[in-house]
A and B are shown apart, each in its own frame.
Chain A
């Protein structure tokens, strides 16, 4: 029975990775940039949610929405200010810029509020409930619900809406998309907005789940989400979802087997294995569906 609990924990952790990984993979799909500042947008989302809930007494859902909207705006600003002018630059220049943006965000936050961690308020009265003798963490179920709703919403946007179709068109062939009358710059901004909003949401639910947040909290989950995106096949949306879940479950299993010190290493072992065995990722057969 404990295994079921562990599995549920693994899936909720994995859905946080998946939400972050989606932003990595969408941005990569459309401009071929590994946006290393993405983990920091996740951190900003966690802090926005924290202030909203703890300081301004907002309810969870409005706080989540506020974090998502502000992160979307931040994502677009990052893209317009830092990355847009590098569209035709070498990939390494863009990558170094992304690392620079990441450090800038982290240390700006530290500059204004210090590096001390913050404790997220509890939002559930009952920490867990019992299903047929299995003790299930309320927050796990809740995280899972939020993630599933957001992922379904994303699938809907990408496949059914005009902007989603534009995103897929631009990621496949930007010039051909221009010939359809698609505004490529706006489409790229929309991709950053959506990816950053998902990272913001991940930040808030991470805060609720792990209760402790700090200005450097985005580094490790960011790297792991990147691994998840590569695992699923970078640029492929369902791949990011699957990669995140697999990674979360693997980490939890590694901990449950008594190797909790190895937990963080697991992600990077997976990264090395996937790069050796199947560099295109699980879903990356022949570069099927990007963004």
Chain B
């Protein structure tokens, strides 16, 4: 479904991704783990069109999307749940969800999907008129995920959804990630919480200073000594 081919991405003179390649197949949950500053968010921003690769190509459903504007990538069915949630704090929960469906015209479908998001996150429904800036961190994460789902994506990119959340909320969020995946949405999940991420993912990649250093099925990586030592707290 998604094929990243040998991309280089720079911030000015600083190279953040160095010849990175990876692949995501339809229906999978693929997780990308790596230390702070490895380039995980950079990869997601490149996939969603906020950054352009200097070299290499990105293929999605058979056509090249590298260098395309963010809006055409959203239109093609890729939604990005950004690091730190980035909800529109000055707007209500409902307005945030509406913005998620910004490019859609099918009113009926939008209404149905909004109801579905409220089913997934009943807490959001209780607070649909509340300004999203006043939500708790966990609620904001739910909102960021709900907002991304409102675009009706085929592929959803999630950047550290568990960041700063209490264990119970983390569990809840990961349950929902699995649920969304079962409904047919492919997931590329960036995580620091490698334990959790590997437990829900089918396959995984390990990123270090802009390069993929390890890949395999989630199970394989869970058992790999390198991963255990570096990302699973030496369990």
Contacts and interface: CB of A to CB of B under 8 A. Distances in A.
A180 B90 contact: no
B90 A182 contact: no
B91 A169 contact: yes
B201 to A, nearest CB: 23
Given A181-B74, A181-B75, A183-B71, A288 B90 contact: yes
B88 A179 contact: no
Interface stretch (A16-24, A170-178, A198-206, A269-277): A170-178
Interface residues of B, number: 25
A180 B74 contact: yes
A177 B89 CA distance: 12
B88 A172 contact: yes
B70 A169 contact: no
A168 B88 contact: yes
B91 A168 contact: yes
A179 B89 contact: no
B49 A180 contact: no
A175 B90 CA distance: 15
Interface of B: 48-50, 69-71, 74-75, 79-80, 82, 86-91, 95, 98-100, 102-103, 147, 151
Interface of A: 162, 165-166, 168-169, 172-173, 175-183, 288-290
30 contacts: A162-B102, A165-B95, A165-B98, A166-B99, A166-B102, A168-B90, A168-B91, A169-B91, A172-B89, A172-B90, A172-B91, A173-B88, A175-B50, A176-B82, A176-B88, A177-B88, A178-B50, A179-B79, A179-B80, A179-B82, A180-B74, A180-B147, A181-B74, A181-B75, A181-B103, A181-B151, A182-B99, A183-B71, A288-B90, A290-B90
